Amino acid sequence: MLDNLKIIFHQGKQFIPNVKTVEVPGIFRGRPVISTSKIDDQALKSTCPLGAIDINPVSINLGKCNFCGECAFKFPEKIKFTKDYKLASNTPEGLIVKEGIDKPIQLDESLIRPEIRKFFSGSLKLRQVSAAGDNSCELELNASGNVQFDVGRFGIDFVASPRHADGVVITGPISKNMATALQLTYDAIPEPKIIILVGVDAISGGIFANSSALDRTFLDRYKPDLYIPGNPTHPLTFINGVLNLLGK
């Protein structure tokens, strides 16, 4: 008993008091800022292994970005990754960062289905489906529930059964071999329900985008409510994205 109390005492305060304002340690690569300085645009574009960079004007699509930082190393005067971890949007267009514009990524409030905030702002139970995810985003989603990030404090939890869930969180590029299971899981969730894509692989296929082993037709049939970039997605990126969707 005394041992237990000692252990608990030695942990100190682990939880992050404010997950919206806390600063992440080190050199986190979050929202990029693109300057207006003139460089060889074509060379910049071809630097990106995932085709996330477009030109005229120069932009980075965070839904395709691997956050490897290669563009910033090659063109430091043009691209800088900031420590802003709030990267989620409810539209694919919202994930595109353009040159000369340094402002937070936001949700398009007018496109949030009214039932989402009506039903889920108090409690949101999610079913996670890893559809050929590489277990990096899965580890970070697990970390979102640990004593430090503690997403449970907002009434947001991952549950075991789709029947208990209000939505599905998809990681991975969606393999052919997982397409049926993903559909069955989604079907088993009662209405109203939401779809959240977590990580570059889920949003755009990432490095696997052109693999013939994928079947991404699920995303042709249903429109996701939230896109959360990252490779893997940082727990704070996930938590802030969902809180923004819920208006919390």
Partner 1 sequence: MDYIVSINNNQSLPIKDIPEQAYHTFLENNIGMLKDNDNRHCVNYFGLQQESSVKLFCCIADDSIHQIYISSCVVNKGTTLNSFAKHNLNFEKFEREIHENFNIKYTDHPWFKPVRYSENRVNKAETIANYPFYSFDSEELHEVGVGPVHAGIIEPGHFRFICNGEQIMHLEIQLGYQHRGIEQLFLKKKSLLERTILAESIAGDTTVGHTTAFVNLWENLCGYQPDLGLQFTRTLALELERMAMHTADLSAMCTDIAYQLGSSVYGRLRTPIINYFQEWCGNRLAKSLIKPGTTNFPYTNDLANRLNQVFAAYEPDFIEMSTKLFKLPSALSRFERTGVVTLDEVKSIGTVGMAARMSGLNRDIRLSHPHDLYTTINHQPIIKRHGDVYSRAQIRRDEVKQSMGYIRSMIGNIPDFKKHDNPEFKPMPDTFSISLVEGWRGEICHCAITDSKGELILYKIKDSSFHNWLALAQSVRNNEISDFPICNKSFNLSYCGHDL
Q: What's the closest the beta carbon of residue 134 comes to partner 1, in angstroms? A: 4
Residue number, 25 or 104, with CB nearest to partner 1: 25
Which residues on neighbouring strands pair with residue 54, listed in sequence order?
59
Residue 7 or 38: the one with the smaller Cβ distance to partner 1 is 7
The stretches of the chain forming alpha helices (DSSP H) are: 2-11, 41-47, 70-74, 114-120, 136-144, 176-188, 200-204, 218-221, 235-246
Q: How far is the CB of 150 from partner 1 (least distance, A)?
A: 10
Question: Cα–Cα distances in Å, from 194 out to 114, 197, 232, 242?
Answer: 12, 10, 21, 11
Q: Which is nearer to partner 1, 120 or 186 (CB)?
A: 186
Give CA torsion, residues 71, 72, 78, 79, to 10 deg. Answer: 100
Q: Read off the amino acid at residue 156.
A: I
Q: Which is nearer to partner 1, 67 or 107 (CB)?
A: 67
Q: How many residues does the chain have?
A: 248
Q: Is the Cβ of residue 16 or residue 39 nearer to partner 1 in the bound state?
A: 16
Single out the residue of 78, 55, 109, 63 nearest to residue 219, CA to CA: 63
For residue 186, the minimal CB distance to partner 1 (Å) is: 11
The least distance separating partner 1 from the CB of residue 152, rounded to whole angstroms, comes to 12
**Nearest residue to 111 (alpha-carbon basis) of 242, 205, 225:** 225
Q: How far is the CB of 230 from partner 1 (least distance, A)?
A: 10
Residues near partner 1, by CB under 8 A:
3-4, 6-8, 10-11, 14, 24-29, 49-50, 66-70, 73, 81, 127-143, 146-148, 158, 160-162, 172-173, 175-178, 180-181, 185, 201, 206-208, 210-214, 231-232, 234
Q: Report the alpha-carbon distance of residue 67 to residue 52 in Å, rounded.
A: 10
In this complex, which beta carbon is closest to partner 1, that of residue 185 or of residue 240? Answer: 185
Q: How far is the CB of 160 from partner 1 (least distance, A)?
A: 3
